[in-house]
Amino acid sequence: MVEKRKPIAVKDAIEKVLGFSRVGQIEHVALQESYGRFLAVDLVADHAVPPFDRSPYDGFAIRSIDTISASADLPVEFEVIDEIGAGYVSDHLLGERQAIRIMTGAQIPNGCDAVVMLELTKVSKRNDKVFMSIKRPFKKGDNISFAGEDTLKGSTLVKKGAYITPGIVALLATFGYDTVPVVYKPRIGIIATGSELLDVRETLVPGKIRNSNSFMIEAQCRRGGAKPIYFGKLMDNLDECFLAVQNALRSVDFLITTGGVSVGDYDYLPEIYKRLGANVLFNKVAMRPGSVTTVAEVNGKLLFGLSGNPSACYVGFELFVRPIVRTFLHNERPHLQKIKAVLGKDFLKPNPFTRFVRGQLTFSDGKISVSPVGLDKSNVVTSLADANVFIVLPGGSRGYQMGDMVDVLLIEDQTGSETSWAESFK
Amino acid sequence: MVEKRKPIAVKDAIEKVLGFSRVGQIEHVALQESYGRFLAVDLVADHAVPPFDRSPYDGFAIRSIDTISASADLPVEFEVIDEIGAGYVSDHLLGERQAIRIMTGAQIPNGCDAVVMLELTKVSKRNDKVFMSIKRPFKKGDNISFAGEDTLKGSTLVKKGAYITPGIVALLATFGYDTVPVVYKPRIGIIATGSELLDVRETLVPGKIRNSNSFMIEAQCRRGGAKPIYFGKLMDNLDECFLAVQNALRSVDFLITTGGVSVGDYDYLPEIYKRLGANVLFNKVAMRPGSVTTVAEVNGKLLFGLSGNPSACYVGFELFVRPIVRTFLHNERPHLQKIKAVLGKDFLKPNPFTRFVRGQLTFSDGKISVSPVGLDKSNVVTSLADANVFIVLPGGSRGYQMGDMVDVLLIEDQTGSETSWAESFK
């Protein structure tokens, strides 16, 4: 007899999975390896930026009081008493009508309260002395970058869990992190099951297809911030699959299997969960594709049973595994970012279950539109290549027409969302 | 005397740089290492997908003609003569009122023209034979995934130069690429100059700051698809800098220096270009920040002289280096993607030159809005951490108000644009 499974709402499924989330430990990597990792501590400024008053331009450091009378007709002349390059400090104290030649980035000398840009000055020499004259007055503070104007000492600049961008790398360098505390990447084991699967290098034979899911998931793991560990592909053989799952579970933080979760005679995952004594969180989700997606838990460790169909497998990863990975990485925005877009093509099929349609987002004149790419069948692999979003069509809705406003989930985006996009979905 | 430099329009500067673009060679990497690389050849389907007619469901393969009379009152019964798992092929030819048990993904047996899902059937046993009955008619082709319905043999699935996403990895696996021809990453040399620069691990001392630009650029190189090679930081010493530049140029595809491009007494890059016999494409651009950005060329090899100010340096990389990297990678969309957004905050400063303001993009109800992040001064490093776009305010424009529509460039996006965003800018 066919087992009757009760579908659970997508929102509830995600909640159940996140109930078993774990967070990763800290590891230290070289600054140059930190791009794309997730910060494990708050980045706090241990000094002000700039650390001292400095000149943003090449020019002359002066006392503004000396410039009050300066005009085109009556320029004011200054004696140039020193020259400081970036990285050097002058030990002169500026006196009346004295100036110090200063380079971009150099520290403002004592007694000076304004900088005049080089191009606004005229330089001359007399009796081995250098003079500089200007034709207009300057105010106190003109052209000075003041200590702390960018950042005060003690400010939290970047929060724990942030995805490290090139801009954050620059901040880490500024604050002396030659090694960076990042969150250890969760190790995700991957096992592909199915007697129809050939290795990638094998020649096609009747009835068989090449294994593509495990490689796709490895890339999804990398995009999500995890470290994939491939444990190989297996024939539909209960004992062999059971041992492989049991063994892989020991050395990973999460385990993904593909295939074998349906109700067919060769779908052994349900039996494997039984043998492991696993707690099955759900084995049917009210969604298309991927309704057979199953998630179970053994001693707090999650097993994701994704569909063997490529598109269903892809969706299953992004909906259930990705937020678990981002939570592990201490990221405050673990959910996919949901935005609204205008449907660019009809999608007339009704949606008994919440449907995730592979789509491509385009921008035009401040408007966002989205169109489905390729066929929307769960076994279609080619449309995955062009998709950068999922169009989410809620369960119970009729078909949609061009011009309708729909929800889309951004799958190539690092921003994410604090709250689950699924809050408003069944 | 201060050298007078003539600013060039941003659009012209980008064009001049791209005039010296080069394209990279092919290298082969394992499929598992291909995510995030750029494809070096068109990906053509060498077989149809699916490669054979197959069942998308668990169920029974039947002849639709036998089901014409089936109804709830008068079910039609079939004898089950074989069972095929995915990966196996039945050698039976289906006769009248015969059925074959078939699993998801298995090849449709000869003589069959429809599949009935398991849950719509009733199975029974009599005299060691298995029977199955159904209560409604099926049409020819019902529940069959036909060979080639996803992809025909010979179709170009992904074009050369594409950024390899998880979806493309799946396609590569499907078509047997256990190694993938990708474009060799351009090697970009990086030299930081400036006597004010400390190493990241050094303690701050008066007048000095830590080198952050080279690490930031390394991360920007990685994001862009290039391989950064750091040649260290140098004091403002002409001979030393010249030798370092000359030496680095020999072993890289492109070279970036930071600092030393202005008109100050310690800005040695102009003199270094002279000694190298380099052709200076431009040494002043009508933009803020980064007006001192200089690009030169020696024997067809580009030297990017970026500003020493972090934000100017960042902008200089994205505007000039990134499209050169993407062109090298054969990518058809080498330019930053430009979209329209609504300004979320006033930006009242006038823009004598085209201004690139670091901003953060947000989506709400199908509208795109953008706000400047932090201070907009070229020496401000902290705002880089939060920026995911540049707001582009054209030269010659007055200040902008909240609600105005502005152009933004997406800097965290892999999609890019075929044509230069700068086409419409001076």
> Do residues A306 and A290 make contact, with C-beta atoms less than 8 angstroms apart?
yes
Residues lower than pLDDT 50 in chain A:
1
Rounded Cα gap, residues A62 and A109, in angstroms: 9
DSSP state, B186?
P
Statement to judge: residues B191 and B240 lie in one domain: yes
Q: Which residue of A has its CA nearest to B389?
A: A167
- Binning chain B into helix, strand and coil, the percentages to the nearest 5 are 20, 35, 45
Which CATH number fits the domain that encloses residue B72?
2.170.190.11
Per-position DSSP letters for B20-47, written without gaps between them = T---PPEEEEEGGG-TTSBBSS-EE-SS
Q: B388 falls in which pLDDT band (50, 70, 90)? A: very high
CA distances from A401 to A225, A340, A354, A367, A406 (A): 36, 15, 17, 17, 10
Give the DSSP H or E segment for A408: strand A405-410
Q: Residue B29: pLDDT above 90?
A: yes
Statement to judge: residues B74 and B197 lie in one domain: no
Residues of chain B neighbouring A337 (CB-CB closer than 8 A) = 363
How many domains does chain B divide into?
4
Identify the residue among A196, A217, A234 best suited for mutation to test binding to B, counting B beta carbons within 10 A and taking the highest: A196
Out of A85, A170, A380, name the one closest to residue B150 (CB). Answer: A380
| A107 domain residue, yes or no | yes
Residues listed for chain B: 426
| B143 domain residue, yes or no | no
For strand A209-210 and strand A197-198, is the pairing parallel, antiparallel, or unpaired? parallel
Give residue B1's pLDDT.
Answer: 46
Statement to judge: residues A205 and A286 lie in one domain: yes
What backbone torsions phi and psi does residue A318 show, to the nearest 5 degrees? -65, -35
Statement to judge: residues B297 and B370 lie in one domain: no
Statement to judge: residues B171 and B223 lie in one domain: no
DSSP state, B320?
I
In 3D, which of A132, A83, A124, A78 has the Cα closest to residue A103? A83
| B351 domain residue, yes or no | yes
Instruction: Convert A251-275 to b/e letters by CB count within 10 Å (16 or more is b).
Output: ebbbbbbbbbbbbbebbbbbebbee
Per-position DSSP letters for A184-225, written without gaps between them = PPPEEEEEEE-TTEEPTTSPP-TT-EE--HHHHHHHHHHHHT
> Do residues A223 and B167 make contact, with C-beta atoms less than 8 angstroms apart?
no
Which CATH number fits the domain that encloses residue A43?
3.90.105.10
For strand A26-30 and strand A179-183, is the pairing parallel, antiparallel, or unpaired? antiparallel
Domain containing A109 equals 59-134
Statement to judge: residues B112 and B88 lie in one domain: yes
For residue A33, give every residue at least 6 positions away whose Cβ sits within 8 Å of its Cβ, in sequence order, or none: none
* pLDDT, mean of residues B82-101: 93
> Do residues B152 and B1 make contact, with C-beta atoms less than 8 angstroms apart?
no
Q: Would you call A210 and B174 a contact, using CB atoms and an 8 Å cutoff? A: yes
Give residue A1's pLDDT.
Answer: 46
> Do residues A342 and A368 make contact, with C-beta atoms less than 8 angstroms apart?
yes
> Do residues B326 and B307 make contact, with C-beta atoms less than 8 angstroms apart?
no
Q: Which of residues 340-379 of B touch A (CB under 8 A)?
A: 340-342, 363-368, 374-375, 377-379
| A238 domain residue, yes or no | yes
Q: Where are the beta strands (DSSP E) in A262-330?
A: 279-282, 287-288, 294-298, 301-306
Rounded Cα gap, residues A147 and A53, in angstroms: 5
Kindly report the CA angle at A304 between A189 and A320, in degrees rounded to 5?
110
Statement to judge: residues A275 and A311 lie in one domain: yes
> Do residues A419 and A392 make contact, with C-beta atoms less than 8 angstroms apart?
no
Q: B375 falls in which pLDDT band (50, 70, 90)? A: low
For residue A399, give every residue at least 6 positions away whose Cβ sits within 8 Å of its Cβ, in sequence order, or none: A346, A347, A348, A349, A350, A351
| B5 domain residue, yes or no | no
Which CATH number fits the domain that encloses residue A236?
3.40.980.10
Q: Considering only A236-250, A252-266, B328-342, B366-380, which range has the smallest mean pLDDT?
A: B366-380
The complex's ipTM works out to 0.92
Give residue B110's pLDDT.
Answer: 93
A292-350 tens-digit pLDDT: 999 999 999 999 999 998 999 999 999 999 999 999 999 999 999 999 999 999 999 99
Give residue A346's pLDDT.
Answer: 92
In 3D, which of B15, B127, B48 has the Cα closest to residue B420? B15
Q: Would you call A105 and B196 a contact, using CB atoms and an 8 Å cutoff? A: yes
Domain boundary, last residue among B293, B328, B363: B328
Give residue B24's pLDDT.
Answer: 97
Out of B119, B195, B267, name the one closest to residue A88 (CB). Answer: B195
Identify the residue among B363, B411, B413 best suited for mutation to test binding to A, counting A beta carbons within 10 A and taking the highest: B363
Statement to judge: residues A257 and A123 lie in one domain: no
Q: Going edge to edge, which strands form the sheet with A114-117?
A: A114-117, A59-62, A98-102, A76-84, A129-134, A121-126
Statement to judge: residues A36 and A18 lie in one domain: no
B177-191 tens-digit pLDDT: 999 999 999 999 999
Q: Would you call B199 and A220 a contact, using CB atoms and an 8 Å cutoff? A: no
Residues listed for chain A: 426
> Do residues A278 and A332 make contact, with C-beta atoms less than 8 angstroms apart?
no
Rounded Cα gap, residues A307 and A256, in angstroms: 10
What backbone torsions phi and psi does residue A80 show, to the nearest 5 degrees? -90, 110
Q: What is the mean pLDDT of chain B?
A: 93
Q: Would you call B201 and A178 a contact, using CB atoms and an 8 Å cutoff? A: yes
Q: Which of residues 139-158 of B touch A (CB under 8 A)?
A: 145, 149-151, 157-158
> Do residues A356 and A392 make contact, with C-beta atoms less than 8 angstroms apart?
yes
Domain boundary, last residue among B273, B297, B328: B328
Give residue A386's pLDDT.
Answer: 84
Statement to judge: residues A265 and A226 lie in one domain: yes
Pairs of CB atoms within 8 A across A/B: 343
Which CATH number fits the domain that encloses residue B386?
2.40.340.10
Statement to judge: residues A379 and A294 lie in one domain: no
Statement to judge: residues A45 and A177 lie in one domain: yes
> Do residues B335 and B416 make contact, with C-beta atoms less than 8 angstroms apart?
yes
Give residue A352's pLDDT.
Answer: 92
Give the DSSP H or E segment for A174: helix A166-174
| A142 domain residue, yes or no | no
Domain boundary, last residue among A183, A209, A243: A183
